[in-house]
Amino acid sequence: MDYRLDEIDRRIIYELMNDARNTSAPTIAAEVNVSAGTIRNRIAQLEAHSIISTYTAEIDFEQADGHLTNLYICNAPVSERNALAQEASGIPGVINVRQLMTGRRNLHIMAVGEDTAQLRRITRALSRLGIEIEDETLVESETHSPYSAFGPDEEASLSKVTDIISLAGEANVVDITVETEAPIVDHTLEEAVENAVLDADSLVIAIERDNRVLTPHGTTVIEPDDIVTVLSQRGDTDTVLDAFTAEETAQR
């Protein structure tokens, strides 16, 4: 993987899995305390890296004119599994093909038909491809839920750290969302170091602001909701947090 998920990315995925239709960038932004522009930028990155591949609607086909949904548990030679899955997905009525990393029962195929006669035609079409159907059954209902590990953690720390990467020695790289009342807000990086707001051993190496990633300089002014990436030579995360979070948050 060439893209590392942080806490913001995980929350975006959770919210979109929960209800992509009614979830907007401003809604997610309010949940994770960053700007809507940042959320839109992150979604674009997740899509570009194929982490979010598509947005689909959940359909109750029984309610849609009484259509039937059938699940086929199939076997396919491992060397041909991917090709057969692609061919199966092209059969009219097939709505989902799942490949499993097993020797048998390694293709799960979901299909919808108006009646049992149509499902039988799909069965014959799968067999003609050389796919062995080991079992099949009508689906009564299906429930989808977002991945809870990516959701809000009520017991998690209230700090704004979204990611920490440990480096050789004691150094680490920390991603922090800047709070409105943080000491460093509206100051340049030079001023922050001169006034001992920012530890001289800490270096801001990137700033994500709305839909842009900035290369920081001494004259760069830090703004609320910036997501800053800080290299701490001593790995002193608490000291780094003091500069970018409000006093009451830092005390927690």
User: pLDDT tens digit string along 84-142?
Assistant: 999 999 999 999 999 999 888 999 999 999 999 999 999 999 999 999 999 999 999 88
- Is position 241 within any domain? yes
**Mean of pLDDT values over 203-209:** 95
User: pLDDT tens digit string along 149-194?
Assistant: 999 875 444 456 888 888 888 899 999 999 999 999 999 999 999 9
Q: Evaluate whether 222 touches 190 at the Cβ level (below 8 Å).
A: no
Distances, alpha carbon 223 to alpha carbons 24, 188, 191, in Å? 23, 10, 14
**Residue 225 pLDDT > 50, yes or no?**
yes
- Domain finish residue from 106, 138, 170: 138
165 and 229 fall within a common domain: yes
130 and 83 fall within a common domain: yes
Taking each helix axis as running N to C, give the angle between helix 7-19 and helix 36-48, from 0 to 180 degrees, rounded to the nearest 10.
Answer: 80
Q: Which amino acid is at 137?
A: T
111 and 38 fall within a common domain: no
- Is position 155 within any domain? no
- Is position 127 within any domain? yes
User: pLDDT tens digit string along 28-87?
Assistant: 998 888 899 999 999 999 999 999 999 988 889 989 889 999 999 999 999 999 999 999
What pLDDT does 133 receive? 97
Q: Evaluate whether 12 touches 202 at the Cβ level (below 8 Å).
A: no
| Bridge-based pairing state of the strands 132-138 and 107-113 | unpaired
208 and 245 fall within a common domain: yes
CA dist 221 and 223 (Å) reads 6
18 and 77 fall within a common domain: no
pLDDT category, 15, cuts 50, 70, 90? very high
- Is position 237 within any domain? yes
- Is position 219 within any domain? yes
174 and 243 fall within a common domain: yes
What pLDDT does 162 receive? 85
126 and 89 fall within a common domain: yes
169 and 247 fall within a common domain: yes
Contacts of 220 (CB under 8 A, 6+ apart): 188, 189, 204, 207, 214
CATH number at residue 198: 3.30.70.1450
CATH number at residue 117: 3.30.70.920
Distances, alpha carbon 172 to alpha carbons 36, 74, 198, 215, in Å? 28, 48, 16, 19
What pLDDT does 248 receive? 59
Q: Which residue has the higher pLDDT, 252 or 125?
A: 125
What pLDDT does 1 receive? 58
CATH number at residue 30: 1.10.10.10
The model carries a pTM of 0.80
245 and 165 fall within a common domain: yes
Residue 49 lies in domain? 7-57
31 and 93 fall within a common domain: no
217 and 184 fall within a common domain: yes
- Is position 182 within any domain? yes
190 and 213 fall within a common domain: yes
- Is position 220 within any domain? yes
Number of compact structural domains in the chain? 3
pLDDT category, 252, cuts 50, 70, 90? very low
- Is position 189 within any domain? yes
